[in-house]
Amino acid sequence: MPVNTKRVFYVKYLAHPIYVDVLKARSDVRLDRIENESPEEFYAPILEAAHVYQIGAARDELAPHFHAQAGLLKRAPNLLIVSSNGAGFDPVDVEACTAAGVLVVNQSGGNAHSVAEHALAMMLTLSKRIIQSDRRLRRERDVNRNDLIGNEVGGKTIGIVGLGNVGRRIAALCNTLLGMKVLAYDPYLSAGEMAARGGEKVELDELLRRSDFVSISCPLTKESRGMIGVREFSLMQPLAYFVTTARGFIHDEGALLQALRDQRIAGAGLDVWSKEPPPPEHPLLQFDNVLASPHTAGVTREARQNMGRIAAEQVLDALDGKRPPRIINPEVWLRYAERFKQAFGVTPG
């Protein structure tokens, strides 16, 4: 093994095998795989030597001791980069990584089109009552189609919470395909920036009051955790639908359950959950006006390959001393650069 070998490891899975193919083309990079069940005597030396942790984006698919938190970081003194397989990074304690001088990167934008398509599909399915029609036909005879009258999506108003890579793609699809009015809430963007992305900047309360569809597309952060609760659902229109392809814990599942029971909203499309996948007996799965999927909005063949490729390319660029394009904690850069120079003898930039 070359003296300056760069060590990368992952646990259980990668977004796509192309990640392995890209890294294997480099003789100076070693890639190790760990399983959730791997014994400590196997994985401890890998953690101790690692420079990069390519981590899964779904918190419930990783054993807790492999989450990128303070305990793991102490066992990985040479770790420089934690790279998420996806746009989300739920198993990563960003503050702990920053305190340890570890750079956190994700693959934002790599699956944006797939997620946007999923959100739009949920909106259409709910509004046209397709899922309810399907269930009625499977359970009953002589179904009266007049009991299943839906609504057109065209011309309606969608409120998008978070106008980043996914949100702006949803806005484009809704604008161009369906002629919808797009409202958007994103405290990190100016009105001009949001207009350029196809949305009218409004505050969250106004968005909830005016929208026929509310779509959640923001990341899970301290600020967004629990952002949609009892009060927020009470502001929505009775004929409005709630759709989320973002992350669990942004909306309060108990509050949504009560809103559906009280018929305060028309229905919901849920791709993300507090526990993934949710059990079949989950109370939200008992409603015919709830369309559910197990966090598969970004899981398409095209998106997975794209995510694997850009993850590998970003890691290799970083290991070659370049500044990665998708940094989650840019405030750590100076300390990270010092640690990188100590490890490889060059200053990244």
Which of the residues are catalytic? 247, 276, 295
Amino acid at 341: K
Q: Cα(271)–Cα(153) distance, rounded to whole angstroms?
A: 20
DSSP 278: P
Q: Cα(187)–Cα(167) distance, rounded to whole angstroms?
A: 13
Q: What is the DSSP string of 82-113?
A: EEESSS--TTB-HHHHHHTT-EEE--TTTTHH
In terms of phi and psi (left: phi > 0; alpha: psi -120 to 50; beta: otherwise), the region of 132 is alpha
Q: Cα(230)–Cα(256) distance, rounded to whole angstroms?
A: 7
Q: Are strands 241-244 and 181-185 parallel, antiparallel or unpaired?
A: unpaired
CB-based contacts of 73, cutoff 8 Å, min separation 6: 79, 96, 97, 100, 102
